[in-house]
Amino acid sequence: MEKRKIDLRSIKTKIGSLKREDLEKNFRKALYSPYLYLVLGLVFGLLFTIQFKNESVRPLSPVLFYDQLKDVKNDFENKKDNLNNQVKDIQKEVKDKEKSLADKNLVSTSTLNNLSDQEMILGATSVSGEGVIITISDGANQVKDELSKSLTHAADLRDIVNLLWYAGAEAISINDERIIYNTSIDCIVSTILINNNNYVPPFTIRAIGNMRDLSGVINGSRKLVDIKKRADKKQINFDMKEDSNIKIGKYNGAFSNQ
pTM: 0.62
pLDDT tens-digit readout, 65-116: 677 777 787 887 888 778 777 777 777 777 777 677 666 666 666 776 676 7
Rounded Cα distance between 215 and 243, Å, is 10
Rounded Cα distance between 128 and 244, Å, is 9
Sign of CA dihedral 226, 228, 233, 234: positive
What is the arrangement of strands in the sheet containing 185-188, beginning at the earlier edge strand?
185-188, 191-194, 197-199
% the chain with pLDDT above 70 = 68
In the 3-class helix/strand/coil scheme, how is 125-152 assigned residue by residue? CCEEEEEEEEEEEECCCCCHHHHHHHCC
pLDDT tens-digit readout, 167-207: 999 999 999 999 998 899 999 888 999 988 999 999 999 99
Instruction: Identify which has the larger pLDDT, 227 or 119.
Output: 227
What does the chain come to in residues?
A: 258
Nearest to 153 by CA among 178, 186, 183: 186
User: Would you state the pLDDT for residue 72?
Assistant: 81
User: CA–CA distance from 230 to each of 107, 245, 258 (Å)?
Assistant: 53, 30, 36
Determine how many CB atoms are found less than 10 A away from the CB of residue 123: 24
Domain 129-248 is found in CATH 3.60.70.12:
no
Rounded Cα distance between 115 and 244, Å, is 26
- Provide the strand spans (E) within the chain: 127-138, 171-174, 177-179, 185-188, 191-194, 197-199, 203-208, 236-248
